Amino acid sequence: MKQLDQVFWIRAFLGATTGLLSGAVGFSDDMPYIGLLLGPIMYILSYLLAKYAVRLNLPQQESHKIFTTGLGSFIALWLFTWIIHYTISLPP
């Protein structure tokens, strides 16, 4: 598996996990925006993970791919799992 493919799948997994965490935290009265802050925080952590743990060997012209690879799937899975979790956890 290519290194950028690993970054993509790591971010897809982290997006789904972050959505579940955001749904579990919810919109409490004490900290209503913590669920919204989890997404950017986890994406920045995934960037650091991709940059330092996976150790991508990309040319200087393609260094932006570390940040952009998997961005859309992370956001989509984060929001999708958050919405599904929130919908299922609501009482009828």
Q: Write down the residue that tokens 């260094």 correspond to.
A: 63
Strands (DSSP E) along the chain, which ranges? none
Can you give the pLDDT at residue 91? 77
For the chain, what is the largest distance between any 2 Cα atoms, rounded to a whole number of angstroms? 54
Q: What string of pLDDT tens digits covers the 92 residues of the chain?
A: 687 888 899 999 999 999 999 888 876 667 768 888 999 999 999 988 888 877 777 777 777 888 888 999 999 999 999 999 888 887 77
Residue (of 33, 5, 31, 37) closest to 18 by Cα position = 37
- Alpha-carbon gap, residue 62 to 5, rounded angstroms: 15
Long-range Cβ pairs for the range 31-39 (8 Å, 24+): 35/82, 39/74, 39/75, 39/78
Tokens of 54: 């996976």
